[in-house]
Amino acid sequence: MSILEANIRNTKTAGELKIVRNQGKVPGIIYGGSEKNQNVSISRKVLKSLMEKENFLSKIIKLKIDEKEESVLPKEISFDVITDEPIHIDFLRIIKGSSVIIEIPVKFINNDKSPGLKKGGVLNIVRRKVELKCPSENIPSELVVDLDGVDIGYSFKISSIKLPEKVVPTIIGRDFVIATVASPTVIKEPEKPAETVEGEQAADGSAEAQDAGASKESTNTKGGAETEKKDADKKDEGKKPQSEKK
């Protein structure tokens, strides 16, 4: 369990909060249980290093305040819209015997041992986090899904995941899906629309008709020329030179 040192802060105005942030600290608040809300500040550098660790928002940490330790759960972090630096954090006070509702991340293991994925199947993740109601002293850091031996078509439902004692999903009444191993997606080339095909056939037919018409016209022209030549020859034969007349 991580330990984070915190200082009590008595800031009341936006200007005082700005001074705290300029000192390299992040304002925060501890709430929950029968005790009053407590305003604190923590080191920005230390907080950012903890945030880089996996599942920070689902792990209980200990806040050390004036030599006193208190178990808390990070609930919400606000960030500066320009610098993306953390500017505020909320902590939920953990009370023994109480329950908390929290989103727990899902972790998939043994991907290389799945026959379905080896065949080219696809891991379709439906839920990367699952909201659970957990006893404050028994909060899982993650839900593990084992893909060893899993083939195409298999579905992981919430009932197939072993939950810690007294940990239950907030969605009740149905066995919802966490992930599936699906068949590989095959993209088929779309077929040409019927109108396009008919249009192409019509265009081809029109071109053939034009070619046939042109050929026929050429034939008729040739035939006509030959006929005219024969008529001219006959006329020439009918004409005799004056010297031949008797």
Question: Given this chain, do its domains 1-95 and 96-189 carry the same CATH topology?
Answer: no
Q: What is the DSSP letter of 48?
A: H
- Kindly report the CATH number that applies to the domain delimited by 96-189: 2.170.120.20
pLDDT for 240? 47
CA dihedral 133, 77, 90, 70 (to 10 degrees): 80
- Choose between 191 and 119: higher pLDDT: 119
Class for domain 1-95, per CATH? Answer: mainly beta
pLDDT for 242? 47
The C-alpha angle with vertex 237 and arms to 231 and 242, in degrees rounded to 5, equals 135
Length of the chain: 246
What's the whole-model pTM score? 0.62
Given a cut of 80, is residue 182 above it in pLDDT? Answer: yes
Pairwise CA distance, residues 182 & 165, whole Å: 31
Of 133, 136, 123, the C-alpha closest to 33 is: 136
pLDDT for 205? 54
pLDDT-based confidence at residue 175 (cuts at 50, 70, 90):
very high
pLDDT for 85? 94
pLDDT for 243? 42
Domain boundaries, the chain: 1-95, 96-189
